[in-house]
Structure 1
Amino acid sequence: MMMTQAPVIEYEPGSTPVGYHRLHPDVGINFQCNRFLQLIGPDALEEIRAAASAIGTYAEWIETFLALATRAREEQRILAGAYYDRAAEFFMRPGDARRAPARARFLRDIRALYGVTPVNVPYGGAALPAYDLAPDGPPRGTIVVTGGFDEYVEEGLPLLAATCRAGYRVIAFDGPGQGGALEGARLPLTPAWEEPVGALLDHFEVTDVTLIGISLGGGLAIRAAAFDDRVRRVVAADVLDDFLECLARQAVPGAAPALRALLAARARPLVNLAARLAAARKPLADWGLRQGMHVTATSTPYGFFQAARALTTRSVSARVTADVLLLAGTDDHYVPSHQLHRQAAALTRARSVSTRTFTAAEQAHNHCQIGNLGAALRAVLTWLDSLAPENQPSG
């Protein structure tokens, strides 16, 4: 059972969103500032705004957020301190000696604040950390939540707690390549997401679930639903039907077809050279390559891109028979908008397909609806209500 006084994402109609703010001129850094602001809450806006004004490099990001974490903990602001440590750790390189301690502080404090302890789910000779959160009364259903690329399941506790408050049993986990499964069990990312999802459903003995995938998890959830009919409803938030396309877009807009052709031709030297040039030109590309190789347990950019190439739903979408909800933002700087329409069109056997696009007017227009997570949760809950047997047309 979770701590009832821990902060949750507000999702009721009329709730005031935290909003998506211009905090830094760099699009990627600005998104990350907004990401952690969303999770901490509006009281952190001016503190993060001031911090962002002093950040010009990723090294400065790390130092700034480590200092914010220390100050927040000294002031007994446990939630802020935990997320500031996670923010600092996010841009640390895999070999950075500060990384493991920052992660440990984040996990210690966020778990204590929400009163949760992970359950180890057996998987491939190792274990996946998971949380099984029960609502106060009889559950309206079971929702399974999977995160995205290199995400920690604990990051979503304010959102998971809100979903639990809405009456659902919530099971959330780190799969291979994520959080404790990566850093603790050394399990690299796999495209076969039906395997960790299947292990989770077996362990908790559930047979009728809604699977929500966040960020890259949106594509991974579609993959799992294609192979496991215990997933009766699936939500992709965001869509992310082709990870390689998103990666190439971050490095050089429009580069995806050329990169795909080089990978198909197994042009290892050319791919590695192009990656090195992109990394030298763009710090985000340099960080992304190093982190990507860490998550996928590959040793070269070529190896990472080949692993990313497999993270697509093109060959499996037509197998999905569940009800599907696809969420997207009009100004998602990670995922191109055409992926929403492409994914919807590919779900030819789904029981139903619904889409929801969020706008700047809702403050939910960017990746994963950062700025107004409450609106995204409200859309999911409304969709689930519409699928309830009592709300289906008769005869």
Structure 2
Amino acid sequence: MIKKKYDFPVGWHDIHTDMSFNFQMNRFYGLTNDPSMLEEMCKVSPSLHTYPDYIQAFMKLSNESLQKNEKLKAALYLRGAEFFINTNDPEKILYRNKFVSLVREHYGINENQYYRIPYETGFLSAYRFTPQSPKGTIVIFGGYDSYIEEFFPMLLAVRDSGYDVVCFEGPGQGSPLEDYKLPMINEWEKPVKAILDYFNLDDVTLMGISLGGYLVIRAAAYEKRVKRVIADGAITDFYNALYHSVNSTFHNKIDNMIETNDREGLNVIFDNLMKENLLMKWAVKQGMHITGSASFFEYIEVIKSFVSTNISPLLTQDVLLMAAQNDHYIPIYQFYDQIRTLTNVRSLTARLFTKAECAQNHCHVGNIGLSIDVIMNWLDNISQ
């Protein structure tokens, strides 16, 4: 085992009865090692019943933390509030910018480490963290809803383990989406190519997190400068992953409406569904924003293209596939589907994180440090 150069809290906490709230609280607490944040969230949790409740409470916690000069907590509370703000609310972008500023200040990230890479009608957003005598370069990106700045503690841990880290936001993510209106695309090899070209990189490890677990498979299939692949999220069919919690009868009804081009009926269905399910309400609203879709029907048409069945056999690299036992976003069968379809890889290491490890939830929230250990050990071993 490598010697740890980082420290993340271990444990999954039942802070709130609603899974969408509870996951986000655990998610942002997991990026700190500050027990006071957990205590503060547990104290306000009983009063949180709606998104406005949550937003107001977390803004208050952020302001209180900032008054105490606790910049990381202030940033994460702010991000927690911003996460559930309506995409059309003009304050959302203000909160996002303040979060980015605070977290960069906390970690001492300077302008020399930040890059804007020309891409189509805008720019990709990237950072580079390089140690002395790096073992190699790892290029990292997120997925459906993250900002790359959220991953700073993880990225800096990877750097401190000896790797040159290039991390970026592509179309549909962070700055490219919010500042330049670049929507999410399926052809992820395009932004990856732009990044590799800009930094003149070859022989890299490419890592995608959450939905990035699908995007990294797609990119690696067509970009052969990628020699090692880490999919932290085994997504083979994004549409079915996003709606796997919907009962089968309802799911079949949605499929039939898509096949018969019943746009109006589908829009009505999702309007009703979002009234009943907070997680679905957030997921659909966020998804339409990310993909630049004008309707639910258009949004589903876009995400139904995110399927790896015919792409996975194209990979010839070394692959580390990571999944979580009780992931509430990604059904576990997609982990095994991905294993079965990676038929031509040089090597395949599949790692399922479990409840016994406190890493059973999406992106291993509850034991992020363990996931970094696994990645570093795999990289060190595969390079020998």
Change (3 A) 1:386 1:256: farther
CA contact (8 A) 1:40 1:83 kept: no
Q: Which residue of 2 aligns with 1:113?
A: 106
Distance 1:11 1:80, change over 3 A: farther
Q: Do structure 1's residue 289 and structure 2's residue 284 form an aligned pair?
A: yes
- Alignment root-mean-square deviation, CA: 1.8
SS at match of 2:30: helix
| 1:43-122 paired onto structure 2 within 5 Å | 43=35, 44-116=37-109, 117=111, 118-122=114-118
The residue that corresponds to 2:18 in the other structure is 26
* In the alignment, structure 1 residue 153 sits paired with structure 2 residue 145: no
For 1:357-385, what per-residue CA distance to the aligned partner results, in whole angstroms no more than 9, with x for missing partners?
11111110000000111110111111112
- TM-score for the superposition, normalised by structure 2: 0.95
Q: Distance in 2 between matches of 1:59 and 1:203?
A: 42
- 1:304-315 pair list within 5 angstroms: 304-315=299-310
Q: 1:386 aligns with which of 354, 357, 381?
A: 381
- The letter of the residue matching 1:20 is W
Looking at structure 1, the residues matched to 86 and 248 of structure 2 have their Cα atoms a distance apart, in angstroms, of 25
Deviation at 1:260, TM superposition (A): 3.7
2:164 corresponds to 1:169: yes
Are the counterparts in 2 of residues 94 and 294 from structure 1 also a CA contact under 8 Å? yes
Aligned equivalents of 1:337, 1:11: Cα separation in 2? 31
Are 1:39 and 2:31 counterparts?
Answer: yes
Structure 2 segments unaligned to the other structure (5+ residues): none
1:219 and 1:236 in contact (8 A); partners too: yes
Distance 1:111 1:17, change over 3 A: closer
Mapping 1:269-288, distance limit 5 Å: 269-288=264-283
Match of residue 325, structure 1, among 300, 316, 320: 320
> 1:152: Cα distance to partner?
0.7
Assess if the C-alpha contact under 8 Å between 1:251 and 1:285 holds in 2: no
After TM superposition, give the deviation of residue 259 of structure 1 in Å: 3.2
Q: Aligned residue pairs: how many?
A: 379
Q: Is the 8 A contact 1:11 1:374 kept in 2?
A: no
The C-alpha deviation readout for 1:296-318, integer Å capped at 9, x for no partner, is 10111111111111112122111
Once structures 1 and 2 are overlaid, which stretch shifts more, 209-218 or 266-275?
Answer: 266-275
Q: Superposition pairs for residues 212-361 of structure 1, below 5 Å?
A: 212-252=207-247, 255-361=250-356
- Once the two structures are TM-superposed, the CA of residue 21 in structure 1 deviates from its matched residue by 0.6
Q: Percent identity?
A: 37
More moved, 84-93 vs 304-313? 304-313
The 5 Å alignment of 1:202-213 reads: 202-213=197-208
Aligned residue number for residue 142 of structure 1? 137
